[in-house]
Amino acid sequence: MKKTLTIFTVLGVLLFMGCGDGEKKNTDPYEKSTPTEQTKVVSSVPASQRVDLTNKGIGPIKNVELGETIDMEMAAKGEEVYKMNCTACHKVDKKFIGPAPKGILERRTPEWVMNMILNPDVMTKDDPLAHDLLLEFNGSPMANQQMSEEQARQMLEYFRTL
């Protein structure tokens, strides 16, 4: 009888420790359920429509100054480059193989857009927004078209006209 009691006590203590551990986990800020809920809220907006005007992305472009008015000459060059290299997958104002660039600067920073053009492989792997875009577009990747920084800048100016 005494032995059984001891076993029960040991079991009880173990159980108690087990529960204690569980509670400890819940108070750990990294284990709280709130971040998961937050992630859910964020990901309920498709990546293509998500607005993120602070993220500059990953790549060679660290800072872009946009002029107050659109440089129409630069935009015209950008349109040419875009038509040659991008229209196989992008339509100006409709979702196609990739998202439409119309209004993109209301959703993204200029740096992010240029880094996405120049460095799409790293972006879709390591930038959270670009990564989610790749998922939204069923894993069909944004192509690296080997554009120069100048060409990417011209297309950015063109996107401002859309």
Contact set with ligand HEC (CB under 6 A)? 48, 82, 85-86, 88-90, 97-99, 101, 104, 108, 113, 116-117, 124, 133-134, 137, 140-143, 145, 147, 155
Q: How far is the CB of 100 from ligand HEC (least distance, A)?
A: 7
Q: How far is the CB of 29 from ligand HEC (least distance, A)?
A: 31
Long-range CB contacts (within 8 A, 24+) of 72-76 = 72/161, 74/153, 74/154, 74/157, 74/158, 75/154, 75/157, 75/158, 75/160, 75/161, 76/158
Q: Which is nearer to ligand HEC, 35 or 46 (CB)?
A: 46
Distance CA 9, CA 23 (A): 21
Q: Which is nearer to ligand HEC, 119 or 137 (CB)?
A: 137
Q: Which is nearer to ligand HEC, 6 or 43 (CB)?
A: 43
Q: How far is the CB of 88 from ligand HEC (least distance, A)?
A: 5
Instruction: Tell me, rounded to whole angstroms, the distance of Cα 138 from its chain centroid.
Output: 14
Q: Which is nearer to ligand HEC, 71 or 85 (CB)?
A: 85
Task: Give the contacts of 80 (CB within 8 A, at least 6 positions apart).
Answer: none
Q: How far is the CB of 21 from ligand HEC (least distance, A)?
A: 42
Sign of CA dihedral 93, 81, 152, 89: positive
